[in-house]
Chains A and B, each alone.
Chain A
Amino acid sequence: NAGVMQNPRHLVRRRGQEARLRCSPMKGHSHVYWYRQLPEEGLKFMVYLQKENIIDESGMPKERFSAEFPKEGPSILRIQQVVRGDSAAYFCASSPGLNGETQYFGPGTRLLVL
């Protein structure tokens, strides 16, 4: 049973470019969560999605950031017009969707903005 997949593992962008981060949940999991980890800090919640629905985006910056989880295909976290402060590790987690179920994490995408 494959775990949570994220790609790319490393992404380098110049200021002003767009970054697209992909997450494929574990088989049988319908809930996806995105977290951001700044250097030397813990993970901070960004957004919680189910298929075709955003359930909670209270942790998402109001501008430049968006997320989707389409009916088919992976979940996408999109950052437009990246700035240096967006440099961080972005983790995706998935769960079966039952209340209180453990979230299993992917290996993360390390974004570096030059």
Chain B
Amino acid sequence: AQTVTQSQPEMSVQEAETVTLSCTYDTSESNYYLFWYKQPPSRQMILVIRQEAYKQQNATENRFSVNFQKAAKSFSLKISDSQLGDTAMYFCAFMSQTQGGSEKLVFGKGTKLTVNP
């Protein structure tokens, strides 16, 4: 079974600075998808970014980018120019690409990020 590990329970960063959140996963599959979701105090789950394992290029969405290291099974999230609104729980998630299989997301335990003014 796949597992996702987020080794940083809590992190903090100053506004306008850059922060990197770590995520590692364990799978025997070669094709899969990886996601970062954000959960602000409202508790709504919001997609931040996604990465297809077959793509070598790291995904980027505005101030958010990932460092995907397939061999190391690592998928870190970098937030540049941090803003107060980035304060949230961040969850890393894995989805298998098995054809005809379940498309369930497997989540890590999350990293609580606080952006300080």
Contact = CB atoms under 8 A, between A and B. Distances in A.
A69 interface: no
A107 B45 CA distance: 7
A105 B108 CA distance: 17
Interface residues of B, number: 24
Nearest to A104: B47
B35 A102 contact: yes
B35 A56 contact: no
Contact of B106 (A45, A48, A89, A102): A45
Interface residues of A, number: 27
Contacts of B102: 48, 55-56, 58
Contact of A33 (B42, B50, B52, B104): B104
A55 B98 CA distance: 14
A21 B55 CA distance: 38
Interface string A53-85: 001101100000000000000000000000000
Given A56-B104, A99-B103, A100-B33, A42 B50 contact: no
The 8 closest A-B pairs by CB, nearest first: A56-B102, A105-B45, A42-B107, A45-B104, A42-B109, A43-B107, A100-B33, A42-B110
Interface of A: 31, 33, 35, 41-45, 48, 55-56, 58-59, 89, 91, 93, 95, 99-105, 107-108, 110
10 contacts: A33-B105, A35-B107, A42-B110, A43-B91, A48-B102, A93-B45, A99-B103, A100-B95, A100-B97, A107-B42
